[in-house]
Each structure stands twice: as C-alpha cells, then as structure tokens.
Structure 1
Amino acid sequence: MTTKVFRIKLRSVLFPFTSEVPMSPIKTEEDWRWPKNGQNEVDPQDSISNIADLYHSEKPPVCYPGSYLDFDPEAQKVILDVLQKNPNLIGTHTHFITMNGARVPKKGEGGFEATQQLEARVIWMIGGMVGGTPETIDGLFCGGGTEANLQGMYIGRNWLRSNCLDPHQKGIVILTTPLIHYSVIKNADILNIGNGKFERCMACGNLHRFESDPSGTGVTFVGMNDSFEMDMGDLKRVFADKYAQGFRRFMIVPTVGTTDAGSIDPVADISQFIDEVHTTSEARVYMHVDASFGGFTVPFVNPDLHIGFENRHVMSMTLDGDKMGQLPYPAGVFLCRKGLTDYIAREVSYVEGNQDDSVSGSRTALPAALAWHQFKKNGTEGQRRHVQACLDARNALAHKLKTELGDYVGVMPYSPWINLLPIKMRAIGSPITQHLKEGGLLAPFQMRKDFIPHEPLNIMSCPDTVYKLCIMPHLLGTGTLDTFVELLKQTLRS
C-alpha cells in the first residue's frame, strides 16, 4: 500500500506501466509547443504513457545492463526529500585537511555541506572496496560511465602534459583492446588526443576495422588472449613500436568487464609493466581503469583479484552504480588518487570554495543519497548476494545452452566474476536474423550483436558475430531464461 501511495505522489517520475502505449502523433503546433496557460490538473499518464515497465514484461530484455529497482519506504522518502530540497553537488567533496586528528572538509558551495559530506563518505565506501581510503582517493558521482571515463582521460591528458616531456612533439597514445567501451574513442576525440574510427571491412563487410588517427595519436588497439583479455606480450610489442616512433606520453585503459564479453584485463600485470617502463625509459604512462560493470561485482565475489588502487600505477577508475550497484540512471562513479583532480580544477569566483574540479559542474545529489541508504541497509554481504545470484543464473544458463543447444549455440569464454554471457549462433543465416527483428519470436528480448575478432590476438581478423546476454535481477526466478532458451530452440531449429 505504501508503494502505491508513493507512486501516486511521484507519478510523473515513477508511474507503473507494464506495456508500451505510444504517444499520439504530432499533428499541430499544440502537440509540441509549451502552452501559454497551464492546467491546474495534468494527468501524468497523458505525458508518459509511452514509458513501458520493460523489466516486468512477459519477455524482458536479456542484454541490457540495467534492471528494475525496488525501493523500500525509507528509500522512497530519500528520493522525495532530495528531489524537493534539490541540493547542488558542484565540484568534488572528498578533499579535507586534518586538524587535531579530525578530517575537516574543505569548503564547497555554501549551504549544502551535509550533502557534500554524505557524498564524500559514500565515495570512500566505494573506494574502500577497490583499495582506496579517505587519505588516498578523491571522487564523485557523475552522469554515467562515459562521463567518468571522460574525467579520467581529461586528468590523464593533463597529467601527462605536466609530468612527461614530448621531445618529438608526437602527442599521446591510448593503448587498449578492441573490446573497450566506445566512450574511450569518443572521449579521445573530445579531448583532442586523436580521432580514430571504425571502417567497413572490404573482406567481410562488417564495420570492425579500426583506423587510428593518421598522426598515430589517440587510441591504438592491443591484441587479446583467448579469454578476450589484454595480451601482455602484445601490449609490450605495441608499446615498443610506438616508443620507437618517438612517442613518450602513454595512457593505458584496461577494462574490468568488457561490454561484449565481460572479460577482465590484467590490471596488476599492466601496473607491473608500467613500473618497468618508468624505470627503463623516458616514457610516462597514466592508467585509467574502466570498471563500469565489474567495479560493483569483482570486489564482492573475488576480493583477492585486485582491480584498483592496490596496484601502484592505477591512477583513476570508472565504476557505474546504475549497472550492478542497484542505483538509478545516471549513477556513474569517478575515483582517482588524492589530489589528481587539481589537474582539471578551475577557479570560479562565484562558487563558495572558489573551485570546480569536475567535468559535470552542477549535479544532483540523488545517486549519492540513495547509495548511502542502500549501502548502509544492505551492507557488503547484501551486495555480494545480489551479484552471486546473477552469476549463478548466468552459469546455469551457460550449462543449459551447452547441453540443450550445443549444436546451434557456441558459448564463448566468460569471466567467473562478471554476469555476462557472450554467445555465437551457428545458424546465423535466415532464421535467427528474422526472428530478432520486430515481430519475431526473439524480438522482445532485445538481443544485440557486436563483433569480436575471430583471432583475438589479431585485431584486424574478420570478426565473429557475438550476442551478449546480460543476466540481471529481473531475469531471476521468473522462468524468463527457460522461456528464452525454448524460443531460441524453436528459432534455430526452424
């Protein structure tokens, strides 16, 4: 009953729907212009009736890295309070000075001190799971993983410019794998580091051949091993080749939970390699770890796999609370070593504290406040159970596909700690492609394909078409995965 009342109060935000009802087509200016005279009573269903409760549908999506969110009455009150009070978290609030053994926060925008301190503590909670402490890391919530990657790369660019000479005027090289999130390529362009792009392959017709910036700057791909993890031998080879060309400024961006395969790049080995580079060459390397997916899974189910600041040369990280962190969109999390945000700080005279060291600028406090409530309520053990349940369901699905559809579906290598399952369809011709389209048997599951090099070490090899299954909470205990497998059988055997 409480939930129903809450949804009525916030109907314009959280009105429950189970099926999609398209809005009326635009026919006149009245259908899209802001009306001069408002209405005293507006039925929210008129404006958001096209929003579906997708995750509770009969055939919910199997590839989206999001899920439904169940909030208890206390969490609902947090949402209402924050939306109504509307605090502004401009800047970063993990900075402090120590006086008489106590941490005294540095000034931020005036009037929002309690909210700023709350966010700082939540950031340290998250950072504590990846090797950080209040004395060693800074961070903030932001507009998703893409923005957190942008902030990390922005800091990395400025750090390299300040800490490494570029005697040959070559610029910055970003070393990563073909399975990196597209935002890294986009952000390299935004930051004027280099403009690489995918080209269509003349041999297979797929858009998979990556062409780096003609100057050699920006993103350069490194080959992978058979588990789709960055290959250390190839990393060393590509680095040596770029160094011989005169490059001295490098950024390495490993992924913890790649978008297509869920693979985990060897962060600890990369950190050791950077140590070697710094002691034997003129080059300097900034490592930013994109743990958008794995940041909220790996530390809870395999804490001995160090993906963060336990590694000396991890400088900054991206995590994404709106994936496995049980938070609403957007809930990106950016973390970095203490003081690194100074590299992008701007003096702002009209903001109390006189500084903004974020990409975001003004931003909502809702993700931080909800995270504080949820993390305190559920604890790390609750998060571990949340992750493990998804992993168990993924493992059961992998077994079912192998035993019941082994002649048609190829289960590709997957990480034990990331709840993704990449699969190949051996009957990729007529039946599967037709049934994935609108009106097909599999269309409601929203399956999406991408490309992974057939020879992982050879980044230019013509790719396999891969479908990513993302096993999220809305797929558990409902029979959805069994239904999905049965319809997949019908499709592939038709």
Structure 2
Amino acid sequence: MSALSSPGRVTSRPRQEPQGEMPESGVAPAEAVEAVRERLDRDFHPASNLATFLTTSFEPEAEKLFGSYLHYNLADRDQYPGLEDLAQECVRILGGLWHGDPERVVGSATTGSSEAAMLAGATLLRRWQARSGTAGARPNLVMGAGSHVCWLKFCRHWGVEARVAPARPGSLGLDAGVVSQLCDESTIGVVSVLGSTLDGSYDPVRDISTALDELALHRGVDVPLHIDAASGGLFTPFVDPELAWDFQLPRVVSINASGHKYGLVPPGLGWVVWRSGETRTGGLGFSVNYLGTNDTYHELSFSKSAAPVVLQYYNFLRLGFTGYRTVHTRTRSVAAMLAGRLRETGRFHLLGDGSQLPVIALTAAPDLKLTHLAMHLADRGWSVPVYALPPDLTDVEVLRIVVRNDLTADAAESFASAVREFTRSAS
C-alpha cells in the first residue's frame, strides 16, 4: 500500500462560484480535465483527511485493476457470470471469517453499509411480521446512542420505532444492562455496533447476546441480534481473533460491513451476510428476467460498478489473513503512538485511544477550543472533525482522528507536532 509522506496543503484561493449553465459547446479533453482540477484543488488530499474512515491509498496494480472493471455492471449476472461468482466467493470468505458456515451463509454486495443496514433491517421487520401475534402493534428496533444514522433512517422509512439507549459518560455504546428493559414482544431486533464512528469502541456484543438469551428464557421474548460491523468487520477478526462478536454467538442472525473502510477497497462497497438462507426470509427478493434469464435480486439498488467487488477479492488474494493482520496491526500501533503523544501534552482527555478501532477521540481542557485546534490543523493540511456527542451528552465537544493504513509513523509525528504547537501557543 502506498504511504502518506506529508499532508496536502489547502490553498487560500477562493472557491469558484458555480454558474449553473451547461456551456454551449464542448471543450478539449485536456481543457475539461484542467477545469475540473481547478475547481477541486482547494479540497484536502484524501490521505490527509483524518475525518474519513474510507480507504484513500491503493497499490498501482489495484488501481489498474479497478479501472479495468469500472464499466462492468454487477447487476448483469447473465452477461458477467464470473463477477457474480466472485461476489459470492467474497460472501463465503466473509462468512467463514465471521465464524459462519461458508456453505450456508448468504449475502450481497451493497452500495456501502447503509444499504446493507436497510436490507438487514427490512429482513428483521419481515421476520417479526411473519411470526408476530400482536396485530396492530408498532414494531421497534433497539440500538445504542452511538449507532450510525442509517439505522434511524431505516426506522423512519419503514415505520419502525427507534428505541435508543441513552448515552452515559464513559459509555457511548449499547449497554447490555439496558437491553432487556428496552425489548418487548414488538422488538424486531437489536443492533450492536462493532466499532463506533464516535470513539472507535466495540459494543459488548457477547454480553448483549447473553442478555437476550436470558430474556428469551425468562420472558419468552425471542429477539434476534444484528451486528453493525461497518468499521470493525474487516478489522477486528485479524487483530482481536479471540473476541466473540459474530456468528459464534447463536443469537447473531446477520452482519454488515464496509469493504471500503478497513477492507481496503475504494468507496462504494458494503456487505451484508446472513447466517443462512432461513434467516434471510420475508420475500424481499425480486425475480427479474429482462437481462437474459430469471434471477432473484435482494439488493435495494440495482446497477452498480463491479470494480469495488473485484478489488475486494483482489485484496483477499493479495493480502490473505496474515497480510490483513500485518496492515491492521501496524495501523493500530500508529494510533497507539499518536494517542500517547496527545496524552503527553496533558491538555486532552481521551475517550478513544485506538486500542479497539484505530480511532482517537478526545475532549480538551476548558481553556482549549477544539474548533480552533481543528482550524490550526487545517492550516497545516490536516482535516479533523469536531462534533457534539449524542443528545444525552450535548455539552461534550469531541475531536476525532481516524488512523488508516496510509498514515505513517512519521506523518503521525508531524500531526502530533502540529497539535503541540497549538497547545503551547494557547497556554
């Protein structure tokens, strides 16, 4: 993987205001390219954008392969049967990685984890509707305050009540102790997060699963568990193999992950995998025959480039289990080093220190403004987000740093130096 040697600087040139008109006649390709680049050259270089979880650097061979399949439509299964076979091979690999039976798991490539979440949520809803004897009751979905907004979107679009466990100081995720209190006969499922976008933490999945087992035993309320592993699904198995969070737990029926995060492929790829065909029930598939033969599609979107799927399979072959472990171990090591440098300043409290996902989330001493720190870092070519924690903790302002595989130790030291420069000037 190519490495970031220095952050890209942002120019002070003002943005060009859009005209809102198509030109009367076209221009030469080189002129069009130059115009596009001029419009975009003020933006941060992706590798210095520490706000994003998305992969930003690729091997030349991977970039070439990606370009070769960019114009192949993954939906054209009759025309490109090899692509469909490759996608399903990725599903089987993921199923095995997540301790499922590769011969029984079913799943799909999706346009990011948001579509994967919609499919998983819709399956939970249909499953509940099929077995529910509570006619007229409104279904609900239980999640933690740190869950991704796509789950609230699912609830709004599908008419499901979102039951969100409140955030507490020191715990932004879903706590096993409150799960039983929030679940009832109308609960379609519980969403547990493996790698929060807020602070990089893992929900205590095993404890949540145990709480749901006890709920079924003592109250007869049998609630399935979905794991939103958008960030952790292609990170945790390689660096925390002893952690039980996946299909090892019988309560887990489905898992989603983002290939374009720690799966190390370009943006636009998610995965959703069910334990078996029996758990992907509810008649959500549609038979289509106008592409040549009858085929069933479970995805919400239809046409999409096959290139990200091709790159996912390429990475599985190129890196293997050991290669992924090496890349992610190094990334976590850089995150730990950077967290240590920031802690040494004595001006920050770390909510996330990179020991789970390689994400650092911090609050500042009262005399420091994180928004001012973010502006200082932007002047030096780094993009970092500052945001408020969930509604229960709205007075807490957080700055987050996402460490990816292209942030080298030298670049992390440069980032830490820029932070120290700010703290000294603010003293």
TM-score range, shorter chain: 0.7 to 0.9
The within-5 A match list for 1:433-444 is 433-437=371-375, 440-442=376-378, 444=381
Answer yes or no: is 1:259 the counterpart of 2:197: yes
Matched residue type, 2:258:
D
Answer yes or no: is 1:25 the counterpart of 2:17: yes
Task: Give distance in 1, aligned partners of 2:18 and 2:340.
Answer: 49
Paired-residue identity, %? 18
Offset at residue 37 of structure 1 (A): 6.1
For the structure 1 residues 79 and 23, does the alpha-carbon distance in structure 2 shift closer, same or farther, using more than 3 Å as the test?
Answer: farther
Offset at residue 116 of structure 1 (A): 0.6
Task: Give distance in 2, aligned partners of 1:38 and 1:413.
Answer: 50
Task: Give distance in 1, aligned partners of 2:339 and 2:377.
Answer: 21
Aligned to 1:6: none
Task: Give distance in 2, aligned partners of 1:162 and 1:127.
Answer: 26
Task: Give distance in 1, aligned partners of 2:258 and 2:326.
Answer: 18
Answer yes or no: is 1:355 the counterpart of 2:273: no
Contact 1:300 1:383 in 2 (8 A): yes
Matched residue type, 1:62:
L
Cα deviation 1:117-138 (Å, max 9, x = unaligned): 0111112112211112332211
Offset at residue 387 of structure 1 (A): 0.6
Task: Give distance in 1, aligned partners of 2:139 and 2:366.
Answer: 43
Aligned to 2:5: none
Aligned to 1:192: 159
For the structure 1 residues 487 and 331, does the alpha-carbon distance in structure 2 shift closer, same or farther, using more than 3 Å as the test?
Answer: same
Task: Give distance in 1, aligned partners of 2:33 and 2:260.
Answer: 25
Matched residue type, 2:162:
G
For the structure 1 residues 272 and 35, does the alpha-carbon distance in structure 2 shift closer, same or farther, using more than 3 Å as the test?
Answer: farther
Offset at residue 462 of structure 1 (A): 4.9
Aligned to 2:238: 300
Answer yes or no: is 1:422 the counterpart of 2:361: yes
Cα deviation 1:359-378 (Å, max 9, x = unaligned): 12222211111111121011
Contact 1:67 1:472 in 2 (8 A): yes
Aligned to 1:481: 412
SS in 1 for 2:311: helix
Aligned to 1:135: 103
Task: Give distance in 2, aligned partners of 1:40 and 1:472.
Answer: 34
SS in 1 for 2:224: strand
Cα deviation 1:42-82 (Å, max 9, x = unaligned): 5422224434584477xx23332134322233x34422331
Matched residue type, 2:210:
Q
Aligned to 1:233: 177
For the structure 1 residues 267 and 415, does the alpha-carbon distance in structure 2 shift closer, same or farther, using more than 3 Å as the test?
Answer: farther
SS in 1 for 2:125: helix
Task: Give distance in 2, aligned partners of 1:45 and 1:476.
Answer: 31
Task: Give distance in 2, aligned partners of 1:267 and 1:432.
Answer: 32
Contact 2:168 2:393 in 1 (8 A): no
Contact 1:223 1:234 in 2 (8 A): no
Matched residue type, 1:372:
Y
Answer yes or no: is 1:174 the counterpart of 2:141: yes
Gaps of 5+ in 2: 3-7
Q: Which has the larger radius of gyration?
A: 1
For the structure 1 residues 40 and 132, does the alpha-carbon distance in structure 2 shift closer, same or farther, using more than 3 Å as the test?
Answer: same
Offset at residue 157 of structure 1 (A): 1.0
Offset at residue 187 of structure 1 (A): 1.6
For the structure 1 residues 349 and 305, does the alpha-carbon distance in structure 2 shift closer, same or farther, using more than 3 Å as the test?
Answer: same
Answer yes or no: is 1:372 the counterpart of 2:339: no
Contact 1:442 1:487 in 2 (8 A): no
SS in 2 for 1:475: coil
Task: Give distance in 2, aligned partners of 1:259 and 1:181.
Answer: 7
Contact 1:22 1:50 in 2 (8 A): no
Contact 1:230 1:254 in 2 (8 A): yes
Task: Give distance in 2, aligned partners of 1:487 and 1:427.
Answer: 20
Aligned Cα RMSD in Å?
2.8
Task: Give distance in 1, aligned partners of 2:389 and 2:187.
Answer: 28
Matched residue type, 1:464:
V
TM (norm. structure 2) is 0.87
Matched residue type, 1:312:
P
Offset at residue 144 of structure 1 (A): 1.0
Gaps of 5+ in 1: 4-16, 91-108, 194-216, 454-458
Relative contact order: is structure 1 or structure 2 higher (C-alpha 8 Å, sep ≥ 6)? 2
SS in 2 for 1:378: helix
From 462, 465, 477, the equivalent of 2:397 is 465
SS in 1 for 2:75: coil
From 30, 33, 36, the equivalent of 1:47 is 36
Paired residue total: 413
Matched residue type, 2:398:
V
The within-5 A match list for 1:1-16 is none
Task: Give distance in 1, aligned partners of 2:10 and 2:175.
Answer: 45
Cα deviation 1:117-168 (Å, max 9, x = unaligned): 011111211221111233221112211121111111111111111122225x
Offset at residue 255 of structure 1 (A): 0.4
TM (norm. structure 1) is 0.76
